[in-house]
Amino acid sequence: MQPLKYLQGYPTHLTDQVQQLIDNDTLKTLLLKRYPTPHNIKTEKALYDYVVELKNAYLKKSAPISKVAYDNKINVINHALGLHTFISRVHGSKLKAKHEIRIASVFKSAPLEFLRMIVVHELAHLREKEHNKAFYALCCHMEPRYHQLEFDMRMYLTQIELLGPIYSQPKND
């Protein structure tokens, strides 16, 4: 039995169930039943529009987002699925802040629910820098199924790593 690195920290009874799905070759079937299609947000412009729409719906008074991008350099193996960067620069006598969100490229062909969960997570960092109770409460406010989607997304990453993608890959993706 190989360790399930994306599911570390979860209770044994859950990881045992996922391991059983892997052993029975039914994890892909379960994921496809819950998430039958990938999203169609492929361009960085479409991703930016999607993120700004969510931000405006839940965090109107938060600082604007200057850039949103898919990033091939974000390594999901190192526990990074997305990044929120906050850059302060001095412009004359004023301090300017820029907020950038980068999403791991593996989510370019993932279910919309997983992309939303990652975006919600990164948007929550606009208000809460640390992963504390207030941070997760904000995530759940923006996406009530946040914790279930995070677990399912970790099963999805496990599927990709051990058994391959669940959706057929377009030639130019």
What is the C-alpha separation between 48 and 135, in angstroms, rounded?
22
User: Lowest-pLDDT range, 64-73, 75-84, 141-150, 159-168?
Assistant: 75-84
Q: What is the pLDDT of residue 129?
A: 87
Phi, psi torsion values for 103, nearest 5 degrees: -115, 135
Find out whether 12 and 147 touch, Cβ atoms under 8 Å.
no
User: Lowest-pLDDT range, 19-23, 59-63, 89-93, 147-151?
Assistant: 89-93
Whether the predicted pLDDT of 39 surpasses 60 = yes
Q: What is the pLDDT of residue 77?
A: 42
Identify the helix (H) or strand (E) that includes residue 99.
Answer: strand 94-104
Q: What is the pLDDT of residue 92?
A: 62
Q: What is the pLDDT of residue 170?
A: 57
Instruction: Provide the whole-model pTM.
Output: 0.86
What is the C-alpha separation between 6 and 22, in angstroms, rounded?
14
Find out whether 101 and 84 touch, Cβ atoms under 8 Å.
yes
Q: Average of pLDDT values for 128-137?
A: 94
Beta strands 94-104 and 82-91, pairing class? antiparallel
